[in-house]
Amino acid sequence: MSDKRIVMQGIGLSKRFGHVVAMDHADFELASGEIMAVVGDNGAGKSTLIRVLSGASVPDEGKVFLDGEEVHFRSPLEARLVGIETVYQELAVATEMDVAQNLFLGRELRKPGWAGRWFRQLDKAEMRAQAAEHMQALGIRIQSIRQKVETLSGGQRQAVAVARASAWGRKVVILDEPTAALGVRETRQVLDLILRVRDHGLAVVLICHNMPDVFEIADRIHIHRLGRRATVVDPKVVKPNQVVAIMTGALDAASVPSALLAPVAA
């Protein structure tokens, strides 16, 4: 990992909700072209960390950096404008719309010339062409780009959401439990898609509770505990039971052998 640069970093991030400390001086780093899995027990603060990185929450303390420059997100829209896309566990797909419409949702293309400028007519043909090209590049198979999302399987719907994020995420794609509630075959399809998104050069943050999925596709594993980063480990050398032990506190992160730790990006 030392040959890759840090694309996103969080330093000393804290977030309180009344008397509850959801995040306590947490650190985070994400390298270019990697899949960073974020794991932790319930209530560890994973969701708060991701909400801060995606612009959904403003930290009380700490700093967030993107490509080495400090950023201050006040909304998910501000994060999206600089190339950070998030797919939440509750899929934000419009089921009554077709695949192409979902990929361009909120970013619709208008026809060139007076038709688009004065009459605000949408360039549906161009959107369908670009959507088909992007889906093909990611290896997503559907019957038609005009197919309504409500007719798709759960895995295909998740694929549409991930495809939209990768189409517009220029730097980082954040995926919140992308394989939750999916069958074995659909999970396989989504995991393969995440690998292809990474191979297209995007950095991926994967929040996941399924250890086999994490160990299959993650380049590094960020273990979150008690509102902060406990450690970052290398899935090629660490064992799942060791990760679980750190998550639950059965194994002190400070005593983790250095051979199990993931190298830090430059």
What is the CATH T-level fold of the domain 6-96+148-260, as seen in this structure? Rossmann fold (3.40.50)
Confidence of residue 116 (pLDDT cuts 50, 70, 90): low
Which residue shows structure tokens 């929040």? 207
Look at residue 71 and give its three-state secondary structure: strand
Each residue of 4-61: pLDDT tens digit?
Answer: 789 999 999 999 999 999 999 999 999 999 999 999 999 999 999 999 999 999 999 9
pTM, to two decimals: 0.87
Q: What is the CA radius of gyration of the chain?
A: 19
Name 221's Cβ contacts closer than 8 Å, sequence gap at least 6.
36, 37, 39, 214, 232, 233, 234, 235, 238, 243, 262
Q: Choose among 236, 231, 245: nearest CA to 217.
A: 236
- Is the pLDDT assigned to residue 113 strictly greater than 90? no
Q: What token pair was written down for 181?
A: 């509630």
